[in-house]
Chain A
Amino acid sequence: MSDCLAVFGTTYETLRAEDFFREHGIKFRPVLKPRKIGSACRMALQFSMDGIEAAKAAVRDGNLALDAFYRKDGDGWEKIDNT
């Protein structure tokens, strides 16, 4: 299940993140960021919670300007601590 989101500041950074997610073998799909989550970039990368550690590694590797990771929480989204 794709229950996680990675949100970045700009379109540029989101595309960079796509490249690094791919390199780290993370299955993701680019989606429009839910309105309930702040307003940084309009796009987000959706992936499964199984991939969260790989996603964190990708963010570190690419020195990606991550806004935040989110996890599905009922109808909404909850911020995940990125540590």
Chain B
Amino acid sequence: MGLIYLDNASTSFPKPESVVQAIGRALKEVGANPGRGGYSRARAADRLVYETRNLATRFFNAPDPARVVFTPGGTYSINMALNGFLNDGDHLIVTGRQHNAVMRPLGAMQGRVSVSRLRWDGTGPIDEGFAALVTPRTRAVVVNHASNVDGLLYPLRELGLLAKRFGLLLIVDAAQTAGLVEIDMVRDGIDILCVTAHKGLWGIAGTGMLALGAGVALEPLVCGGTGSFSDSYQMPEAYPDRLEAGSANLTGIAAVKAGMEEVMRIGVREIMGAKMLLARTAYEGLQSFAGVRLFWPGVDMARIPLFSFTLDRLDPSDVGTTLDERYNIACRAGLHCAMDAHREIGSYPMGTVRFAPGYFTTKDEVELFVRAVGELSGK
């Protein structure tokens, strides 16, 4: 039996063939550095970046294409966002189930920036208790759009309205949802959208995007050459150059362009539906085994197709290792870089094993996975 890859929440695999081809073309047929030379190959590279930026703008209905920038990943996007506007003494509201991509930059600002938690378990309105958290120094709400541990999906529109009502920025970590849930920056009231390109968008690891609302300005986290205004030691004021220092990742950009095109061709609803069916099949299969604890938040529509589980008396790490060694099944076990989420769902400190199917996962693979877990649970 070949590899059964169920770790698509870490990075999606396999990638569509069109993505692989696009990377090859970018290397063989373009190759030059965008934003630097004036010769025709360099201009072809410029155009590839330009088209990808425009595509991403449409994909997320970003209000200003110049403020859609390419980054080395979701983590960098979040660091750029948080470091780019926070000042000493500022206060933030963060929703639960955060990833360390948010909590560690905030940890690094400890003592300078204060943080309050907005608790929500997926049922009931999210605005309960929100007003009590707002202080005169509150600047923003940071939400992990969907948990990479149990799949809980946060209601962006409601949060966008709340943010607007209290004059706060809405910052969204869309690592798990870009390419899976329709995100519309204008409709949802998003001021800063942090995107990972290598999960649902089918790009390659080490790539991401950051999209800013109209008029939202950030101080650059990284400074360097931009190919423009080169006679100044200061970063240009103009976007996207202000936030894009250094050579762009052309192959990565080519990959996410092809990935987004593929997502648009198939449609996010179709992708969500297909993956949800797989997740539900696995969840229901595991439900029939005694000694399996499932972390699957309760309400329909407030979830993305991934979940966590543990087996009585077994360390999740051992379950992960056995699934790999005995069944050639790739599942990530542990804390998934998200201590917060595990604390909230009650699986800290042991963590869980995570089931994260992809669009290319088959029903047969899910059945083999269920059978394997059944054997491990003693059924």
Q: Which residues of A contact B (CB under 8 A)?
A: 9-13, 15-16, 30-32, 39-43, 65
In contact, A13 and B66 (Cβ under 8 angstroms): yes
Chain B contacts for A10, CB-based, 8 A: 66, 226, 228, 236, 238-241
A/B interface sample: 13 pairs, CB < 8 A: A9-B228, A9-B236, A11-B49, A11-B241, A12-B50, A12-B65, A15-B46, A30-B43, A39-B229, A42-B227, A42-B228, A43-B43, A43-B46
CA A32 – CA B36 in complex, angstroms? 10
CA A39 – CA B240 in complex, angstroms? 16
Given contacts A15-B46, A42-B227, A65-B238, 11 further A-B contacts (CB under 8 A): A10-B228, A10-B241, A11-B46, A11-B227, A12-B53, A12-B65, A32-B38, A39-B229, A41-B227, A42-B36, A42-B228
In contact, B227 and A12 (Cβ under 8 angstroms): no
Chain B contacts for A31, CB-based, 8 A: 38
CB distance from A35 to the nearest CB of B (A): 10
In contact, A43 and B236 (Cβ under 8 angstroms): no
In contact, A9 and B227 (Cβ under 8 angstroms): no
CA A11 – CA B38 in complex, angstroms? 11
CB distance from A18 to the nearest CB of B (A): 9
Output the nearest chain A residue to B229 by Cβ-Cβ distance.
A39
Chain B interface, DSSP helix/strand/loop, else mixed: loop
Output the nearest chain B residue to A11 by Cβ-Cβ distance.
B35
The 6 closest A-B pairs by CB, nearest first: A32-B38, A9-B238, A15-B50, A39-B231, A10-B241, A11-B35
Q: Which of B55-80 contact A (CB under 8 A)?
A: 65-66
CB distance from B211 to the nearest CB of A (A): 14
Chain B contacts for A41, CB-based, 8 A: 227-228
CB distance from A19 to the nearest CB of B (A): 9
Output the nearest chain B residue to A41 by Cβ-Cβ distance.
B228
Chain A interface, DSSP helix/strand/loop, else mixed: mixed
CB distance from A43 to the nearest CB of B (A): 6
B123 interfacial by beta-carbon distance below 8 Å: no
Contacting B240 at CB < 8 Å: which of A12, A42, A43? A12
CA A12 – CA B231 in complex, angstroms? 19
Contacting A39 at CB < 8 Å: which of B46, B228, B238? B228
CB distance from A33 to the nearest CB of B (A): 8
CA A3 – CA B53 in complex, angstroms? 31
Chain B contacts for A12, CB-based, 8 A: 50, 53, 65-66, 239-241
CA A16 – CA B57 in complex, angstroms? 14
Convert B223-251 into 0s and 1s, putting 1 for each residue whose CB lies closer than 8 angstroms to a CB of A.
00011111110001011110000000000
Q: Which of B20-67 contact A (CB under 8 A)?
A: 34-36, 38, 43, 46-47, 49-50, 53, 65-66
Output the nearest chain A residue to B231 by Cβ-Cβ distance.
A39
In contact, A11 and B228 (Cβ under 8 angstroms): yes
CB distance from B226 to the nearest CB of A (A): 8
CB distance from B185 to the nearest CB of A (A): 18
CA A10 – CA B36 in complex, angstroms? 11
Q: Which of B140-182 contact A (CB under 8 A)?
A: none
Q: Which of B177-233 contact A (CB under 8 A)?
A: 226-232
Output the nearest chain A residue to B65 by Cβ-Cβ distance.
A12
CA A64 – CA B227 in complex, angstroms? 19
CB distance from A39 to the nearest CB of B (A): 4
In contact, B236 and A11 (Cβ under 8 angstroms): no
Chain A contacts for B34, CB-based, 8 A: 11
CB distance from B306 to the nearest CB of A (A): 35
Q: Which of B105-138 contact A (CB under 8 A)?
A: none
Output the nearest chain B residue to A44 by Cβ-Cβ distance.
B38
CA A39 – CA B225 in complex, angstroms? 13
CA A40 – CA B53 in complex, angstroms? 20
CA A43 – CA B45 in complex, angstroms? 14
CB distance from B98 to the nearest CB of A (A): 32
Q: Which of B321-357 contact A (CB under 8 A)?
A: none
CA A39 – CA B49 in complex, angstroms? 21
CA A65 – CA B229 in complex, angstroms? 15
Chain B contacts for A9, CB-based, 8 A: 228, 236, 238, 241
